[in-house]
Structure 1
Amino acid sequence: MKKKLLLLFTVLIVLLAACNSGDTKEKVTEIDFYFPVAVGGDVAKIVDNLVADFEKENPDIKVNARYGGSYSETMTQVMAAVQGGNPPELAVLFSIDLFTLLENDVIEDLTPLFDEKYFDDFYDAFMANSSVGDKVYSLPFQRSTIVLYYNKDAYKKAGLDPEAPPKTWEELVEYSKKLTVNGGKDQWGLEIPSTGYQYWMLQALALQTKENIMSEDGKKTFFNAPHAKEAMQFYVDLSKKHKVMPEGTIEWATVPSDFLSGRTAMMYHTTGNLTNVKTNAEFDFGVSYLPANNQYGSPTGGGNVYMFKGIPKENKEAAVKFMKFLTDPDRVAQWSIDTGYVATRKSAYETDKLKEYVKDFPQAVTAREQLEYTDSELATYQNGEVQKIFNDAIQAILTGKSTVDQSLDKAQKDAEKVLEPFQD
């Protein structure tokens, strides 16, 4: 009898253990996190480590990190999942995708999910592409500005002060001429990329001249405004008139390689490549504000974290936890150190790790200081179509297929037609 009772008791324990095991398994919430990799360096590995750390702290949540390739490829995959009725919980997409995502009514309003003090700790320059009115729709994450990288060793060879980068367009041309060796066959003075993100580069030149090239509400563009045309003419003149930059198309992805190999002494590029340059440059280099025409200026850039509609309550709660984890000041500081992106929260610059890093590597603080002179990246409704119109116009000018006036006038007319349905 005792043996039967003991056996029954053992069976009950096993059954209870199995039930408890099943309960534990059922309590694990899985969330999908789409992520692009758009700069040099092993960003995917860094994200994997973040996910592992989060899951260790939150064993009841599993994060499925899904790498979508470029920003545009990631956006395509995310929208396919949404349209297929299986929206991801979170995705890092361009900050400028905001109006497109709102137009499709697929993202959550984050305002009620976080307190106001939390939002206030993010830099205003980054929040400009994260909100509309008093509603916040995404969190700044891997954010950037355009900065000037320059080879200090090349400066010394050209008789230039390696601690005094150009501050104006006139100085930029003057320095670039001195740095161009053998008509560019051995070394160019400057490279500004003209594929993929040429709109971003022209936008910087426009901001340095007067103001932005679109309205804050995303409903109007100013592609053919006088200051935009002046900026575009300078972009052209660097290669065709001043002969300090290659003519025609300059690939976005090859510009950092050209800089690292000594093919160009200066480059305009995202601060998101800072750690890549720091790791691989075999020469002393500097980072500075973009030179001014009438004023300093650069658009912000990079990606924000969006939460999608149509997910269960427990998944939403898990997603909020992961968003808070990613944007913790210490992790934001480490992310900036590891990647070169600007730390998006003010409190991150008060952490010991970022204070020490900036002290030893002052180039890391240039982009943050330049935020005082930044404005939003090109963002409109139907942004993909509008951006393509502008990109094609810029490339037509740079390759000599069209004039500044003809191309920008046409771009403005075409953009107005696309944005006509959104006018009040």
Structure 2
Amino acid sequence: MRKWNTVMLTTVVGMSLLAGCGGNNGGTEGASGAADAGQTASDNKQTSAPDGKKTELTFYYPIAVGGPLTATIEAMTQEFEAAHPDIKVTPVYTGSYADTAVKTQAGVQAKQPPDVAVLQSTELFSLLDMNAIIPLDDFVQKEGGEQYLSDFYPAFLANSQTEGHTYSIPFQRSTIVLYYNKDMFKEAGLDPEKGPENWEQLQEYAVKLNKDGRFGLEIPVTGFAYWMMQTFALQNGDNLMTSDGKKVMFDTPENVEGLQYWVDLAAKYKAIPEGATDWSTVPSDFLEGKTAMMYHTTGNLTNVKKNATFDFGVSFLPAKKQYGSPTGGGNFYIFKDISAEKQQAAWEFVKFMTECERAAQWSIDTGYIAVRKSAYETDQMKKYAEEFPAALVARDQLQYAAAELSTHNNGKVMKILSDSIQAALTGDLTPTEALKKAQGEADQALASFNK
């Protein structure tokens, strides 16, 4: 039997907000101003089109985790429309984060962007380079300014802000956590109530748990190699880039040591698969008993909870010099080449989707971290966390988290690093060679931003 009994709370449809949700005391409902329009109003009439027709929004969103989240997004959208009858939102599932970025970029270039979209938080500098998004400062100010923003976790805002401006609002956010099979821990003589706490223990546990037909550990590579590399960088030193997105620090001795550790888990200790393990394969392998532990996003927590036929645990990623994980996931962006009326309506939608009660329910339904501190003070989250304490692990790890890799020319820089990591994991390059190569190519890709 699994230790965690699935106790699903009501869906977001029809859910009313509790009074006292944090972060809204500084402003009134609906009294926010469009960044480029400077308009204000006190009720939903502000979003109506001049001829009385509904303001229509196109909303792009990705899904990067297991589970039927399309229905959840559509239910939340319907709830918004019920509360805002003058706004019509068309949610468009646009595939993976990468697919969504490509479709959004194509729309921007064609002067037909979505009105609002959830894109990776790391897209900030790329979107700014395209002159695609608006700053949200005026909207935020009329919601209470710093008081409003202070309810969002600082680690998530790190990818939302630059040069004193806020350009996106956190939504489906995560850290990487360690999932482990408690039954397999018991079988191997390991404490099933504690995951490995440091790199030495992780290697020791992975070897003990390894057996024919099962790996001790799986770390996904394809699609998110750079993200996994950040775990080793943060645990052994510092982040991979500067906060202004103009420089990277790939080939430091600490990062070479981290990549060598990752390579050795496969090549030397045979405890993880060699080569490039696919992102989506890892949770399937975990659920099927093909791996005893996995590194993966907390956004898969609810999927694992619903589908695991065994007792499992969730813990911080093991430390080297310190604990550490990059944040991950997507933020809401509002686009520039749309009318002021649509920008205002889009802000109402963003604000609604990230209210504390809704953030709490989204976390319960998905496993993503509720992005607002006040969400953890809601009754449904308190009840859920009491019944399923693993839901708090990723939230608690935020104190050791840092911004996900984000730079100008971001897609190219990410690919450079990911390709080099894969070359090291397949044995084509040594970790030193791989990161030196990545550093040189990334420096060249960023050269025009450092003149």
Q: TM-score range by the shorter chain?
A: over 0.9
Tell me the distance in 2 between the aligned counterparts of 1:353 and 1:25: 41
Tell me the distance in 2 between the aligned counterparts of 1:244 and 1:409: 26
| Per-residue CA distance 1:344-371 (angstroms, 9 max, x = gap) | 0001001000010000000000000000
Tell me the distance in 2 between the aligned counterparts of 1:162 and 1:122: 33
1:386 match: 413
| Per-residue CA distance 1:262-292 (angstroms, 9 max, x = gap) | 0000000000000000000000000000000
Q: 1:415 aligns with which of 442, 445, 449?
A: 442
What pairs with 1:396-415 in structure 2 (closer than 5 Å)? 396-415=423-442
1:11 match: none
Q: CA deviation at 1:97?
A: 0.3
The answer to whether 1:169 aligns with 2:196 is: no
What SS does structure 2 have at the residue aligned with 1:354? helix
The answer to whether 1:73 aligns with 2:103 is: no
What pairs with 1:272-291 in structure 2 (closer than 5 Å)? 272-291=299-318
Residue pair 2:194, 2:315 contacting (<8 A) in 1 also: no
1:229 match: 256
What pairs with 1:240-251 in structure 2 (closer than 5 Å)? 240-251=267-278
Give the counterpart letter for 1:233 in structure 2. Q
| Displaced runs of 4 or more, over 2 A | 23-27
What SS does structure 1 have at the residue aligned with 2:317? coil
| Per-residue CA distance 1:368-396 (angstroms, 9 max, x = gap) | 00000011111000000011110100000
- Unaligned residue ranges in structure 1 (runs of 5+): 1-22
1:57 match: 83
1:8 match: none
1:46 match: 72
Give the counterpart letter for 1:107 in structure 2. I
Q: 1:318 aligns with which of 333, 345, 362?
A: 345
The answer to whether 1:151 aligns with 2:178 is: no
What SS does structure 2 have at the residue aligned with 1:195? coil
1:5 match: none
Give the counterpart letter for 2:99 in structure 1. E
Residue pair 2:199, 2:319 contacting (<8 A) in 1 also: yes
- Unaligned residue ranges in structure 2 (runs of 5+): 1-48
Tell me the distance in 1 between the aligned counterparts of 2:131 and 2:398: 30
Give the structure-1-normalised TM-score: 0.93
Give the counterpart letter for 1:224 in structure 2. D
Give the counterpart letter for 1:177 in structure 2. V
1:113 match: 139
Tell me the distance in 1 between the aligned counterparts of 2:390 and 2:111: 45
Tell me the distance in 2 between the aligned counterparts of 1:302 and 1:326: 15
Structure showing greater radius of gyration is 1
Q: CA deviation at 1:24?
A: 10
Tell me the distance in 2 between the aligned counterparts of 1:111 and 1:362: 36
2:113 match: 87
| Per-residue CA distance 1:274-318 (angstroms, 9 max, x = gap) | 000000000000000000011100000000000000211221121
What SS does structure 2 have at the residue aligned with 1:224? coil
Q: CA deviation at 1:80?
A: 1.4
What SS does structure 1 have at the residue aligned with 2:119? strand
Q: 2:161 aligns with which of 116, 131, 135?
A: 131
1:211 match: 238
What SS does structure 1 have at the residue aligned with 2:57? strand
2:152 match: 122
Tell me the distance in 1 between the aligned counterparts of 2:233 and 2:140: 35
Tell me the distance in 2 between the aligned counterparts of 1:177 and 1:384: 35
Tell me the distance in 1 between the aligned counterparts of 2:198 and 2:105: 42
Moved more, 190-199 or 310-319: 310-319
Q: CA deviation at 1:133?
A: 2.8
Tell me the distance in 2 between the aligned counterparts of 1:380 and 1:70: 20
Residue pair 2:178, 2:314 contacting (<8 A) in 1 also: yes
Give the counterpart letter for 1:108 in structure 2. I
Tell me the distance in 1 between the aligned counterparts of 2:231 and 2:214: 24
- The alignment covers a number of residue pairs equal to 399
2:298 match: 271
Tell me the distance in 2 between the aligned counterparts of 1:24 and 1:124: 39
What pairs with 1:325-364 in structure 2 (closer than 5 Å)? 325-364=352-391
Q: CA deviation at 1:154?
A: 0.6
Q: CA deviation at 1:27?
A: 2.3
What SS does structure 2 have at the residue aligned with 1:27? coil
Moved more, 157-166 or 338-347: 157-166
Tell me the distance in 2 between the aligned counterparts of 1:190 and 1:302: 23
2:20 match: none
What SS does structure 2 have at the residue aligned with 1:69? coil
Q: CA deviation at 1:26?
A: 3.9
Give the counterpart letter for 2:413 in structure 1. V
CA RMSD of aligned residues (A): 1.2
| Per-residue CA distance 1:76-118 (angstroms, 9 max, x = gap) | 1112112212222100000000000011111010011123121
